[in-house]
Amino acid sequence: MSVPDNELIAEVMMFAQGFTSAKTLAQKVVALFVLSRQLLSLQQHYNWGLRELKPILNLAGRLLTDSKAERQGEALGEVEEGMLLLKAVRMNILSKLTFADNRRFQDLCQDLFPGVNVKDIEYKELEDVIHETMRVMGLSPITAQISKMLQFHEACQQRMGVGIVGPSGCGKSTMWKVLEAAYKKQGKTYRVHVMNPKSIPRVKLLGHMDHDTREWFDGVLTASARKVIKEAPTTHNWIVCDGDIDPEWVESLNSVLDDNRLLTMPNGERIQFGSNVNFIFETDHLRFASPATISRLNMIFLSEEDIDVKPLVSSWILRQPENLHSQLESWCDELFYKALEWVYKGKRPLTVETTRMGMVSNVLGHMNQPAEGSPAGDERPELTKKEFILAVCRGLGGNLSDEHRADLTREVFKWSGEPLPDTTKPLNVCFYDGLLQRYEPSNYESDVSLEAVKKASVLPPLVPTVSVLRDTDLFRRWLHDEQPFIVCGPEGSGKNLLIRHAISRMQSESDVTGNVAILNCNAQTSSKDVLQKLRQFCSVTTGTTGRLYRPKEGRRLIFYMKDINLPKPDKYDTSEIIMFLQQAVMHNGFYDDDLEFVQLEHIQIVASVAPSSTLGRHHIATRFTAIVRVCSMTYPTAEELCEIYTQMMAAALTTPNYQNVAERAHGLAPKVAEAMVDIYTNMRARFTVDDHEHYLFSPRDLTQWVLQMMRYEVESVEAFLEVWCYEASRIFRDRLVGDESQAHFDSILKNALIAYLGAYSQHDIEVEQLCYTSLLTFNDEGVPKGDMKKVTRADYKKMVEDGLKSYEREVKDLPIELVHEVLDQLACIDRALPAPIMNDLLIVGG
């Protein structure tokens, strides 16, 4: 096919619509498109072709007709016609330009249409209704945002498909929701069908045909299509696809988005849409959208530069008690905006990538009043400036590294004129004494009991160190207010422990009854697994707004999802489970198997993630992180680790197995803990995942070390140290590759033993000569109970030989030579499998 002559086509169309200066104006508008393609930045959503030119000419023709009607058929001159054409150009093009390109494009318009002063198309009545609607919805009107709404209004009249593109928090959803409410105020009837196309499998979105019966089953989108074509022509319908765009599903709508307005399904059925239907695509990028799709859409582009955070904060202030309005405005000007600027101008890296609006919501979430429907008695004292300062430090600093969080805290306290209780440790300010009206450093008292250690298979004991209290303060308010949030931290840093203890404490201190559903994610977890878990803990009821998922037991359900960035994204870099959660948080529901939208009631989503830079983890879409609260935590310091494991080891030494050791070795626990932390620190420094993927050491290894030692029966301090060294070798040495690495560990272990426990050891401990087995301890039913006893190597070999003979007699021959290396490996497996906790075993080798 030959390239179309855009200038000739434009000239003919304009002549047909009544323009007398069509030839001159056609040259100018085509030249404007050519220059824009050459001089403006390259953007995926820009289209300077004929398909973009056509709606501009149609709008210009409509404006010309209206103008002639006002002037009772009087002809217009070239300047006046140029003004109408330029008005149509601005209405269609400015909506899709980036913040930087907007100024350049207007300069081009002035060069090509010199002396033409034009005002944008006015919708005075609609604009007034929008202002009133925003006031009722508690939103602060922004001129740029209202301008985008009017452009969106015009875009829906011109084309079937409209794309709203921009980062999360820039007002995409607000735009169409406000406009929908404004239309209804004008007496118009609107139906909106919202879905996230990537939150469900493609067959559930577009439908599928049974290959055996040739029966067609609708998907969410096709079912919505059937509903809208049954509506009266006076009822306007929007099908909003709020999610990532990829060619696998959106290309199926190409025939819908062009002038045909026709959806052809695989079973041969055709659905013809009328002019009362629009497809709205809401997304933050168009990386995978094809030019064919982009050219069929009218684009509305929003950027963070168009939106100021102050109106968002102002809207929040209006929802607070009226007597606090002036104070909150003053505190925000004095502290909040300066702190936000400090974070972004200094380019401090965020632990979890999110948007500026997401960071603002983090702070405001610390100061919210009780949510609607909160139980009686949930009353809080009036917000004070001191609490406001802490909210700013926690909300903004919660997503920064500890170093930058400390710097931010110093700055905020300096701006406020408040003294820090501990200038050397600025983060140690997680307790505020409301009665005395002063800040105090964190104080904690803890004594880990033996019972708590014994229950570690369910939930390890929590030692409330300063960092634990500080990290809990980051999300305690969110948990109480049923706000969705994410806790980010490295593997084994205690995210699960902290969240579950916080939930347990909240339930014990509150009259609110509820349940906790836990979903452990893996690479294959999908939205189907989320639904299965929800069905276990929720009942389906029918309310005034439709079907509802409500907790079966108690008033609320905390849905805790571990490692939500483990599921593998598809080839378009979209995670189905993240999109499902985004829809659940943003629209408070999802589509069930009956293609019906089900809402959630009193179901709070809580998630934990490891940094996306960690092996096997994936990036989380900012559209999700911006609508939830985010906080981060790190590993405890060496000092805190010593505190934690001193208490755990002291509790372990009170078991009957260690009664003689505790009596003879007073003060052993602190020394043992220091030695453990020293070994752990050296192992982390020397062996990293860069060497081998399984070289991942965390405080979880120290917890396992303590808990595993409780399985041994020892009668002396020397025997205790042998067990201690044996467990260290099993936990750390068995993970290492090569003799050189294992020899390096032996050196680390020996040095720690001499430095911290030399006073208790009379001779060198040869770990290679030690042997322990669980095959000598049985319960009343004759089943091995997992306790470990020391045996000689000869006795252990005899036990294995007897077991091997029994197996060969009852099952089949098993030709194994019981050499020294085989016995060592069997002893390691013998230790791991019967363990009451942490008994998973992964054998790696050629």
Compute how many other C-beta atoms are within 10 angstroms of the C-beta atom of residue 279. 25
pLDDT in tens, 749-774: 999 998 888 867 666 787 778 888 88
pLDDT interval class at 21 (50, 70, 90)? confident
Quick one: pLDDT at residue 430? 62
Q: Coil, helix or strand for 264?
A: strand
pLDDT in tens, 575-590: 999 999 999 999 999 9
607 Rama class: left (phi>0) / alpha (psi -120 to 50) / beta: beta
Quick one: pLDDT at residue 376? 41
pTM over 0.85: yes
Indicate the average pLDDT of the chain. 86
The residue assigned the tokens 């080798």 is: 845
Is residue 615 a contact partner of residue 623, using CB atoms and an 8 Å limit? no
DSSP 303: -
CA dist., res. 600 & res. 540, Å (int): 10
DSSP class per residue in 588-637 = SEEE-TTS-EEEESSEEEEEEE--TTSTT--PPPHHHHTTSEEEE--PPP
Is residue 786 a contact partner of residue 711, using CB atoms and an 8 Å limit? yes
DSSP class per residue in 669-700 = HHHHHHHHHHHHHHHHHH--TTT-TT----HH
Quick one: pLDDT at residue 363? 92
Is residue 222 a contact partner of residue 269, using CB atoms and an 8 Å limit? no
Domains of the chain: 6-112 (1.10.8.710), 124-306 (3.40.50.300), 318-373+381-443 (1.10.472.130), 481-635 (3.40.50.300), 638-769 (1.20.920.30), 772-832 (no CATH)
Residue 835 has pLDDT above 80, yes or no: no
CA dist., res. 30 & res. 10, Å (int): 8
Is residue 255 a contact partner of residue 262, using CB atoms and an 8 Å limit? yes
Beta strand 485-488 with 216-217: parallel, antiparallel or unpaired? Answer: unpaired
Is residue 29 a contact partner of residue 82, using CB atoms and an 8 Å limit? no
Residue 304 has pLDDT above 80, yes or no: no
Residue 550 has pLDDT above 90, yes or no: yes
Is residue 675 a contact partner of residue 752, using CB atoms and an 8 Å limit? yes
Quick one: pLDDT at residue 562? 94
Higher pLDDT, 257 or 306: 257
Tell me the CA distances in angstroms from 725 to 41, 679, 732, 765, one per residue in order: 64, 11, 10, 8
Quick one: pLDDT at residue 553? 85
Is residue 380 a contact partner of residue 370, using CB atoms and an 8 Å limit? yes
Quick one: pLDDT at residue 525? 93
CA dist., res. 703 & res. 677, Å (int): 11
Q: In what order do the strands lie in the sheet with 538-543?
A: 538-543, 546-551, 597-600, 589-591
Residue 220 has pLDDT above 80, yes or no: yes
pLDDT in tens, 681-713: 999 999 998 888 889 899 989 998 988 888 888
pLDDT in tens, 486-528: 999 999 888 988 998 888 888 887 777 789 999 999 999 999 9
Mean pLDDT of 294-305: 85
Here the tokens at position 788 are 């470990």
Residue 487 CA to its chain's centroid (Å): 9
Residue 783 has pLDDT above 70, yes or no: no
Express as a percent the part of the chain with pLDDT over 70: 91
Here the tokens at position 314 are 């102002």
Q: Coil, helix or strand for 241?
A: strand
Phi, psi of 311 (to 5 degrees): -60, -35
pLDDT in tens, 188-205: 999 999 999 999 999 999
Compute how many other C-beta atoms are within 10 angstroms of the C-beta atom of residue 831. 22
- Stretch among 24-33, 78-87, 145-154, 451-460 having the lowest mean pLDDT: 451-460
- Stretch among 244-253, 266-275, 671-680, 816-825 having the lowest mean pLDDT: 816-825
pLDDT in tens, 599-656: 999 999 999 999 988 878 899 999 999 999 999 999 998 998 998 899 888 888 888 7
CA dist., res. 293 & res. 45, Å (int): 10
Buried b / exposed e over 77-102, threshold 16 CB at 10 Å, is: eeeebbbbbbbbbbbbbbbbbbeebb
Burial of 172 (0-12, 13-18, 19+ CB in 10 A): buried
Residue 370 has pLDDT above 50, yes or no: no
Phi, psi of 251 (to 5 degrees): -65, -20
CA dist., res. 774 & res. 769, Å (int): 17
Mean pLDDT of 282-301: 89
DSSP 306: G
Quick one: pLDDT at residue 544? 79
Here the tokens at position 778 are 């049985």
Express as a percent the part of the chain with pLDDT over 90: 39
Quick one: pLDDT at residue 616? 82
Question: In sequence order, what are the residues at sequence separation of 6 or more whose Cβ sits closer than 8 angstroms to the Cβ of residue 333?
Answer: none
Is residue 592 a contact partner of residue 598, using CB atoms and an 8 Å limit? yes
- With CA atoms as reference, report the closest residue to 606 among 541, 570, 557, 561: 561
- Stretch among 206-215, 237-246, 269-278 having the lowest mean pLDDT: 206-215
Phi, psi of 777 (to 5 degrees): -120, 125
CA dist., res. 709 & res. 662, Å (int): 14
- With CA atoms as reference, report the closest residue to 445 among 423, 421, 469, 425: 469
pLDDT in tens, 730-740: 999 999 998 89
Mean pLDDT of 344-364: 90
Quick one: pLDDT at residue 236? 95
- With CA atoms as reference, report the closest residue to 161 among 283, 277, 286, 56: 277
Beta strands in 235-312 (DSSP E): 235-242, 262-264, 270-272, 277-283, 297-301
**Cross-strand partners of 548:** 541, 599
CA dist., res. 370 & res. 358, Å (int): 20
pLDDT interval class at 809 (50, 70, 90)? confident
The residue assigned the tokens 């969705």 is: 484
DSSP class per residue in 756-797 = HHGGG-SS---GGG--EESTT-B-TTS-B---BEE--HHHHH
Quick one: pLDDT at residue 375? 45
Tell me how many degrees the CA angle 138-143-149 measures, rounded to the nearest 5.
80
Q: Coil, helix or strand for 369?
A: coil
Residue 49 has pLDDT above 60, yes or no: yes
Residue 452 has pLDDT above 50, yes or no: yes
CA dist., res. 513 & res. 533, Å (int): 19
Quick one: pLDDT at residue 1? 55
